Amino acid sequence: MATQKYSIAQLAAVLKLPAITAAGSVDTLLTDSRKLNNPSASLFFALQGPQRDGQVFILELYKKGVRCFVVNEDMDTSGYPDAVFLKVPDPLQALQTIAAFHRHQFAIETIGITGSNGKTVVKEWLYQLLQPYRNIVRSPKSYNSQLGVPLSVWQIAAENDLAIFEAGISKPGEMARLRPLIDPDIGVLTNIGLAHSEGFVNDEEKLSEKLELFKNAKVIVANGDNNGIVSGVARLNIPFFSWGTGEDASVQIIEVTTKNESTIIRLKEKEGAAFQIEIPFADQASVENAITCAAVLLYLKFDPERIAGGMKTLQPVNMRMEFKQGINNCTIINDSYSADLTSLEIALQFLGQQAKGRKQTVLLSDFFENGINDQQLYPTIYALLTRYGVQRLIGIGEKMQTIIGALMKQSATIDAAFYLTTKDFLRQYHSTQFRDEYILVKGARRFGFERIVTLLEQKVHETVLEINLDAVAHNLKAFQQQLRPGVKLMAMVKAFAYGSGAAEIASVVQFHKADYLGVAYADEGVELRKAGITIPIMVLNVEESAFDAITDYNLEPDIFSFELLNSFEQHIKNAGLKNYPVHIEVETGMNRSGFATAAIPVLADRLAHNEFMKVQSCFSHLAASEDEVEDAFTLHQFALLKNAAATLEQIIGYPFIKHIANTSAILRFPELQLDMVRLGIGLYGIAGASEVPLQTVATLKTTISQIKKIKKGETVSYNRRGIAKEDSVIATIRIGYADGYNRRLGNGTGKVFVNGQLAPVMGTVCMDMTMIDITHIPDVNEGDDVIVFGAAIPVQQLAEWIGTIPYEIMTGISQRVKRVYYGEG
């Protein structure tokens, strides 16, 4: 939200629209109807998505108080008295135009960052290094897209004296749209690598597109050892402040020494003395990112001693807010390494989206926003807490205790407690203080809130299934883009969402506008309703004992037999309900459940003029849509369903949804989309040989508990099946068949990922532990992470090793394995 307001008439002029006389002003640019918090001062941009036109949300927003809209189609405005509609060819371009106008209202020094990798880390480290000295506005998280950049730029306020924005592109022409928004004085190019290469002919084209950001810059900071970068910068005829190993570099790298978990880097600025910095990281990417940051600070005339002091305290950049299962049925959202207004508002939005009616608690430290006085800063924090519906605040720090404490005395809605230090809070902490709530932990680094997170986190053993909620959203959108306009999507979250956690996954897909959810049993649907899920839910395996739960929680049953039809109709009558939505399953070749096609006319007669049940959809299951050999059978099933649905629709006299396409069929048979598709395993990043760019959702990780050396001929595990063929080094990892690691993976069949290499399983998989051979993998230590499956070892590979399918691997992960959810929100 910008602190500067613009009149509607002024923004219409910026967009070169005919003059208007409407009253009203705007300080909030809104692109997502679910993030509304300031209706009267919001301008909503009805963006075009792959499946939805943003204009469908206008009525909902109007009812909530929004009165200003940017659209690209004519609207019937008769139902919107006192609303203003700004019609433009492209609402996204209009958003960018307005943000660019706002950007140029301020003569603010600006750093623009782009590159293949490291943009967000460099941006956040520059913020950490410069924040004590400058009043900085920066891109939230990794807001670097065509949509993210204008929303970032809109945050610029009069008190800021430095802006740091990142820009990412995926195809030619995109940077030309972002350049006027950022218009950097200092251009920072992190690197040119393989990431995001799909949209470019070659690296030269990708580099040229990225350098477009810097056409008006005063200087470019980049790696002078990369000949391609040197040539590209030379063509721009802009001063080059380079870093590299050559003596002609502006900042020369003299020596890099890595030891344990830190790195010492000796640098020398041209015409200056050599000096060294030490960073608490040992990986090559962090070393390059730190050198880039040091070069920027040297260009800004920071002395080496001050740079070295800041480098020692660099913190890891956790670009995602992390979900953790907490004590006493709590959920922890860990964002404990930063405390600034921008990230606070993002975190509060994320908290509200996830909590969905459950109690919201915030643990918050003092803030240290340079350039904003306390009397302005803390009332703003208080206003944000109030606006986003926080019910409980635990404030830690002197300013929290005094200023926020005084403001809280005016509030009857927020229950507040205050402590001078983190140690004071920990001294009185008791686990019974927290129960059945969502807890956001957010604080400045100096307060050490990670100690609080450790206390609040549910204690389980060190095998975890990490779920990337951003990847779920990405995969959902990737499949939505495969659909014809108007085709609905049902996300299947049965079997604990294929082992990934139904409520958390359902929350994401509901947030990103899936139309339906599918579950196996009614109790799964009940849990989703209790978790705040409101979109329609179809129950596939319906039992008479679950009828009450189905109707009590507004679930929609799959009716697959006359016996079930009769029983459910009687239940609806007894409950005094009418027109209850049901889904009719047709048997077309799976031979599992469903009405025979020959029975459809009889079924239709039963349902015609039936006042108790209304057909919501008619569907069937494909038996082999992923198998090219069975394509003729797949099309045969499709024809059977179409005929059955046509007969049913003709007799009952009203339309309903038809669906048969599963994940494989969405990709292989566009003609099978009908009115809705059912997305199952593809939501989790598994879709066979697909050209759709899916992301890995689930990573199963464990740790090494012990390492031991054994002699050639010694045996490992039960039944002495593992025999050392040489003197060997064996590691015991904290996972076994009770966790869902299949016993068939034993004796060398399965492998895990350790220190970037595959390590075979040695001997039999035990209940709680498994032994692996790390003989030829260097630098492995007890406590090191081990990847069981994930991006490094796809779950499909595990399935192939033991002759099964990924579904079995995913759904077999035990509930004792902690699920950790993370995402940007």
d(C-alpha 134, C-alpha 139), whole Å = 16
Say what angle helices 304-312 and 119-130 make with each other, to 10 degrees. 110
- SS3 state of residue 810: helix
Q: 513 an active-site residue?
A: no
Specify whether the CB–CB gap between 505 and 537 falls below 8 A.
Answer: no
Angle, CA of 48, 50 and 51, to the nearest 5°: 95
Q: Is 383 exposed, middle or buried (0-12, 13-18, 19+ CB in 10 A)?
A: exposed
End-to-end CA distance of the chain: 17
Q: 388 an active-site residue?
A: no
Give a three-class secondary structure readout of 638-670.
Answer: HHHHHHHHHHHHHHHCCCCEEECCCHHHHHHCH
Radius of gyration of the chain (CA): 29
d(C-alpha 235, C-alpha 694), whole Å = 37
For every residue of 276-337, DSSP letters joined together read EEEES--SHHHHHHHHHHHHHHHHTT--HHHHHHHHHT------SEEEEEBGGG-EEEE-TT
Specify whether the CB–CB gap between 718 and 766 falls below 8 A.
Answer: yes
Which residue, 554, 437, 558, is CA-closest to 494?
A: 558
* Token pair 């929609």: residue: 556
Angle, CA of 210, 213 and 215, to the nearest 5°: 115
d(C-alpha 776, C-alpha 773), whole Å = 8
Specify whether the CB–CB gap between 489 and 676 falls below 8 A.
Answer: yes
Specify whether the CB–CB gap between 141 and 87 falls below 8 A.
Answer: no
> How far, in Å, are 55, 442, 477 from residue 481 at the CA level?
18, 36, 6
Q: Distance of alpha carbon 554 from its chain centroid, rounded? A: 29
3-state DSSP helix/strand/coil percent for the chain, to nearest 5?
A: 35, 25, 40
Strands (E), 401-505: 415-419, 437-442, 464-468, 488-492
Structure tokens at 244: 């590299």
Structure tokens at 444: 């400045």
Q: Which of 119, 442, 494, 701 is catalytic?
A: 494
The residues carrying an active-site annotation are 494, 718
